[in-house]
Amino acid sequence: MAEIGNAALLIALVTAAYVAVIGIVGARRHYPELVTSARNGLIVVAGLVTVAAGALALAFLIHDFNILYVAENSNRAMPWYYVLAAFWGGQPGSLLFWAWMLTLFAALAVQLNWRSYRDLMPYVMAVLMGIEVFFLALLNFISNPFERLWQTSAGEVTAALFQPVGFFPYLPGDGQGLNPLLWDRGMMVHPPMLLMGYMSVSIPYAFAMAALLTGKLDLSWLKATRRWTLTAWGLLTIGNLLGAWWAYHVLGWGGYWGWDPVENVALMPWLAASAYLHSVIMQEKRGMLKVWNFALIILTFNLSIFGTFVVRSGVISSVHSFAQSSLGALFFAFLGVAVLFSLGALFSRLSLLRDERHLDGLLSRESGFLYNNLLLVGVVVATFLGVIFPILTEAVRNEKISVGPPYYQQVNGPLLLALMALMGIGPLLPWRRASLPALSRAFRWPLAALAVTLIGLLAGGVRSLGPLAGFAVATFVLATHLQEFYTGVRAREQATSEPPLTALVNLITRNRQRYGGYLVHLGLVMVMIGVVASSFFQISKAFTLWPGQTVNVGRYALTYDNLYQRREPGKNITFARLFIAKDGHDLGEIQPGKAFYPNYDNQPASEIVIRTTLLEDLYVVLNSWADDGTATFYIFINPMVAWLWLGGATLVCGGFIAWWPFRAAAPARAFRTATEGLTSEA
């Protein structure tokens, strides 16, 4: 496996470099044969990296512990699905996965767009293979996943790609195994989704660079990349949601988002991609924000590389990142080259990127998109400064000083709240300019819903500004979008005589981009409700209990029985049995515990118990115990966390609807939404 994988990676590197050069040479000198050769070479690269990835996956499955990476990240006690997931459990494997997915996406993007955007393809291939060359160089010379173990007759063991003089192949009887925190179902989907999210941003970025390099700055590059950008946005969405879910049910601290540096670097490209997806609508419909669109896709790509750099360099301390490595300087250099290349290409075409129209008013759909961009970029900048703050303080004061959640809550909180409010205002604004009578008609019901929510919260005893503002804005946005759906359904019913449910389905399917976006907004409202409720109304307690002792937390009563042990494949578990009741009604027993894994006896992983309803989660962690039978528990009641996960599913569903390529023609001019009506009146 090692020889096959090594050979495939080395040949892939040479071929990728050939593609990056020969395609542009063919385009510049008008040799279509060379461009075709570059396309064929790109497919060869995809095949070769697939062979390398397959070799590593097979090495894991057959327990080839002669390969260092396999020995470090798996053992015989692990179930086969965790063994396979160990592929991306460490640095070399995750880099190989990144490079592998890029070749597959690149080959697919080139094949699908070859005829429609032939003039852009040589430059698209050159940019994509330029990125691939960097990752393949790392895999071949710096972080190779196929390093083998060698041993002398005296027992000295070393790792090397090729057999050193005086050494012989060494095959350990078993491997080290995964870090206990990675023995989780989330490990099977969260890392690959996030890695694919980072990687897939390369496709729209390559088209943008191709447009700048060729001077073809019309709408063609936007049309070619819309679904690729939605794909990247969707993968980043799923990756971030699964990361929050993993943190919630694995780390045992009662939360799902701690503003950890690695969490932040995954959030930033998602925010930038969200801004870009909104901003391109302006160029498509009004010929505006052209520079913004190039700048945003450049920002999104470079933030993805920055995220990969932070995780793999170890330069910033995080529970998610790898140890300090030599990759940091190389990634930083590549990031610098990418930024300079991108900005150089953009500045060289600034004179050709003049907007065709200008803002006609501060209250208009155009201004709403501009405010959206400013707010999203503001959150990105604030988060970026928080992430790099330890690096800045080390450079200035020779010590790393990190900023914690309070910084992000105080800085990003108001920006995100304003962004959510704009999400409710934007759909009701007309193009060009708005009239006050039209605005008053459009906003009366959403504002009424906001007022009723505030009155209800105040009557219920809520006095904190955070939940008052958060729930009121969430209600306003919800009312705005429900009004949009209602108006659209009514218009369609009148135009086609369809039943309401049929009209709703056809409304969405015949304008997928718009109503898919509205579903994304509704998902964000649900996420906001879950975040606000769990942040401001969480109950957390710590108790040390004797067997038979009962404690009350909120409406729950928990009775500690005793400690027990059980063995499962690959781990030993010490767990506590507790009986729980709510409002006097028996809910059965729960068994929070600690799992101990081979080779990681000092790093037990929490077996957390979470009982979920729509209104709240009961979250119980066994923290420690003593020889006398006493045990210490952390107990949390987290309100409405389920709304976060349901909102996330709605987000993904809305994104998929917007992505779906089929679009039927609208059957009647009479079908109009409230915003279209506002436009005509204005």
| Residue 615 included in any domain | yes
Residue 460 burial (CB count, 10 A): 8
| Residue 345 belongs to a domain | yes
Is residue 416 a part of any domain in this protein? no
DSSP labels, 391-438:
HHHHHHHSS-----HHHHHHHHHHHHHHHHHHHHHGGGPPSS---HHH
- Residues of the chain with pLDDT > 90, as a percent, come to 72
Residues 38, 44, 45, 47, CA torsion sign: positive
Q: What mean pLDDT comes out for the span 615-644?
A: 96
Coil vs helix vs strand at 550: strand
Of the pLDDT bands very low, low, confident and very high (cuts 50, 70, 90), residue 497 is confident
Kindly state whether residues 227 and 316 are assigned to the same domain.
Answer: yes
Q: What is the CA radius of gyration of the chain?
A: 28
User: Is residue 221 included in any domain, yes or no?
Assistant: yes
Same domain, yes or no: 171 and 262: no
**Confidence band (pLDDT; 50, 70, 90) for 172?**
very high
Domain assignment of residue 184, yes or no:
no
Q: How far apart are CA 582 and CA 555, in angstroms?
A: 6
Judge whether residue 678 has pLDDT over 60. Answer: no
Residue 171 belongs to what domain range?
A: 1-178
Alpha-carbon span 44 to 40, nearest angstrom: 6
Classify residue 661: in a domain, yes or no. Answer: yes
> Are 205 and 300 in contact, with CB atoms under 8 Å apart?
yes
Closest CA relative to residue 108, chosen from 227, 255, 12, 253: 227
- Specify the DSSP element, H or E, that contains 635: strand 631-639
Q: What percent of the chain has pLDDT over 70?
A: 95
Residue 667, pLDDT above cutoff 50: no
Question: Which pLDDT score is estimated for 312?
Answer: 67
C-alpha 158/C-alpha 167 separation (Å) is 9
What does the pLDDT look like over 402-436, one tens digit per residue? 888 999 999 999 999 999 999 999 888 887 776 77
Do 146 and 212 lie in a common domain?
no
The three-state secondary structure class of 565 is strand
> 3-class SS at 603?
strand
Q: Contact, 44 vs 29, CB < 8 A? A: no
CA 40 vs CA 35, 36, 451: distances in Å = 9, 6, 62
pLDDT tens readout for residues 57-86? 999 999 999 999 999 999 998 888 999 999
Could you give phi then psi for residue 634, rounded to 5 degrees? -105, 125
Q: Are residues 72 and 2 in the same domain?
A: yes
Name the residue with higher pLDDT: 203 or 153: 203
Question: Over 433-446, what HEC string results?
Answer: CCCHHHHHHHHHHH
276 with 349, same domain: the answer is yes
Q: Are residues 155 and 303 in the same domain?
A: no
Residues 35 and 134 in one domain: yes
pLDDT digits (tens, 9 = 90+) for 563-605: 999 998 888 999 999 999 999 999 999 999 999 988 888 889 9
Same domain, 5 and 148: yes
What phi and psi values does residue 208 have, to the nearest 5 degrees?
Answer: -65, -45
Residue of 526, 261, 212 whose CA lies nearest to 391: 261
Domain final residue pick, 129, 153, 178:
178
* Residues 480 and 612 reside in one and the same domain: no
For residue 118, what are the contacts with CB-CB under 8 A and spacing of at least 6? Answer: none
Q: How far is CA 520 from the centre of its chain?
A: 15
Which of 178, 212, 228 corresponds to the end of one domain? 178
| All residues at 6 or more sequence positions from 97 whose CB lies less than 8 Å from its CB, including other chains | 53, 87, 88, 192, 195
Instruction: Give residue-wise pLDDT tens across range 231-241.
Output: 999 999 999 99
Q: Is residue 471 part of a domain?
A: yes
The residue-averaged pLDDT of 385-410 equals 87
Cβ-contact 236, 199 below 8 angstroms: no
pLDDT category, 441, cuts 50, 70, 90? confident
Considering only CA atoms, which of 199, 5, 211 is closest in space to residue 123? 211
Provide the pLDDT confidence category of residue 337 given band limits of 50, 70 and 90: very high
**At residue 76, what is the residue type?**
R
**179-183-184 Cα angle (round to 5):** 140
**What whole-number distance in Å separates Cα of residue 212 and Cα of residue 342?**
9
What would the pLDDT profile of 286-333 be if each residue is shown by its tens digit? Answer: 888 999 999 999 999 999 999 888 876 666 655 544 445 678 788 889
Burial of 205 per CB tally in 10 Å (0-12, 13-18, 19+):
buried
Confidence at residue 662, expressed as pLDDT on a 0 to 100 scale: 56
Looking at the structure, tell me whether residues 634 and 661 fall in a common domain.
no
Best CA proximity match to 544, nearest among 636, 626, 637 = 626
Which alpha helices (DSSP H) does 143-289 contain, by range? 190-200, 202-214, 220-250, 261-286
Residue 583 shares a structural domain with residue 508: no
- Domain assignment present for residue 141? The answer is yes
Our count of domains for the chain comes to 4
Asked if residue 677 has pLDDT above 70, the reply is no
Output the pLDDT for position 308: 83
Same domain, 446 and 335: no
Residue 623 — pLDDT band, cuts 50, 70, 90?
Answer: very high
* Stretch among 199-208, 252-261, 291-300, 641-650 having the lowest mean pLDDT: 252-261
Average predicted confidence (pLDDT) for the chain: 90
Distance CA 515, CA 653 (A): 11
Block residue for tokens 């430059």: 123
Q: How far apart are alpha carbons 56 and 142 in whole angstroms?
A: 17
For residue 185, what pLDDT is reported?
82
Residue 636 DSSP symbol: E
